[in-house]
């Protein structure tokens, strides 16, 4: 039996993980701007075809959001883990948990959030993502308070949590030395006071 022939790698290595695709895409977004970077540019730089790229991401707008949809299940679990706490504390703690990242990932997260929050072309898409995040909170608050997720209290809690989180992110992005969980902690104390009434 003949041994397989080994061919030396030619050209750019093939990338097939979400993390690598995002790394390549963010490099292009920073270098060329989000609007000027095409899916074909990203696929080419990653050494994959456009169809392969679209198996990982439905659109270019999904790339900055990474695996956000997958993190919502963890967010639900985090909320449930605080079932023995008052609802306002449970939401507060789960939002902090959702936004806690390893120290080694913070620089990348800062770049990601700066892109998401400062790119006008991403704002309409971001509204959809924020709605999914708010829905998790509204469903939890409704379950805990015996109301409907579309009722005033769950909707208010979800909107306030998002507004305070976004305000915290704005402060964090403006100060390279700021600690994200600490900034969000301060912002979310406002919500706890609001829900406690």
pLDDT of residue 191: 64
Percent of the chain at pLDDT above 90? 86
CATH topology of domain 18-62: Arc Repressor Mutant, subunit A (1.10.10)
CATH topology of domain 68-196: Tetracycline Repressor; domain 2 (1.10.357)
Q: Which residue has the tokens 């708010």?
A: 134
- Asked if 104 and 162 touch (Cβ cutoff 8 Å), the reply is no
pLDDT of residue 125: 94
Residue 4 clears pLDDT 70, i.e. is over it: no
pLDDT of residue 129: 96
pLDDT of residue 14: 55
116-159 confidence digits (pLDDT tens):
999 999 999 999 999 999 999 999 999 999 999 999 999 999 99
Q: Which residues contact 81 (CB under 8 A, 6 or more apart)?
A: 94
pLDDT of residue 192: 63
pLDDT of residue 190: 74
1 or 144: which carries more pLDDT confidence? 144
Give the start-to-end residue ranges of the domains of the chain. 18-62, 68-196
Average pLDDT along the chain? 90
Residue 91 clears pLDDT 80, i.e. is over it: yes
* 42 membership: H or E segment, kind and range: helix 39-46
Structure tokens at 181: 């969980």
Q: Which residues contact 103 (CB under 8 A, 6 or more apart)?
A: none
Residue 100 clears pLDDT 90, i.e. is over it: yes
Please compute the mean of the pLDDT values over residues 61-89 and round it to a whole number: 96
**Class of residue 162 by CB neighbours under 10 A (exposed 0-12, middle 13-18, buried 19+):** middle
Q: Which residue has the tokens 């003949």?
A: 2
Residue 17 clears pLDDT 60, i.e. is over it: yes
Percent of the chain at pLDDT above 70? 89
Q: What Å distances lie between residue 175 and 114, 148, 189, CA to CA?
A: 12, 39, 20
Q: Which residue has the tokens 């402060």?
A: 171
Rg of the chain taking only CA atoms, in angstroms: 20
Same fold, 18-62 and 68-196: no
């Amino acid at each position: 039996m003949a041994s397989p022939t080994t061919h030396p790698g030619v050209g750019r290595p093939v990338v097939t993980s979400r993390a690598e695709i995002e790394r390549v895409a963010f490099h292009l977004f920073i270098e060329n701007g989000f609007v000027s970077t095409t899916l074909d540019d990203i696929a080419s730089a990653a050494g994959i075809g456009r169809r392969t790229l679209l198996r990982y991401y439905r659109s270019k707008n999904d790339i900055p959001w990474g695996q956000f949809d997958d993190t919502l299940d963890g967010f639900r679990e985090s909320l449930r883990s605080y079932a023995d706490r008052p609802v306002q504390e449970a939401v507060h703690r789960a939002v902090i948990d959702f936004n806690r990242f390893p120290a080694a990932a913070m620089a990348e997260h800062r770049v990601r959030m700066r892109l998401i929050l400062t790119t006008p072309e991403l704002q309409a898409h971001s509204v959809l993502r924020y709605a999914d995040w708010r829905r998790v909170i509204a469903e939890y608050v409704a379950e805990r308070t015996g109301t409907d997720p579309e009722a005033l209290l769950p909707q208010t809690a979800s909107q306030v949590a998002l507004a305070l989180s976004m305000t915290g992110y704005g402060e964090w992005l403006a100060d390279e030395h700021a600690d994200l969980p600490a900034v969000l902690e301060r912002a979310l104390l406002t919500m706890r006071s609001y829900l406690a009434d």
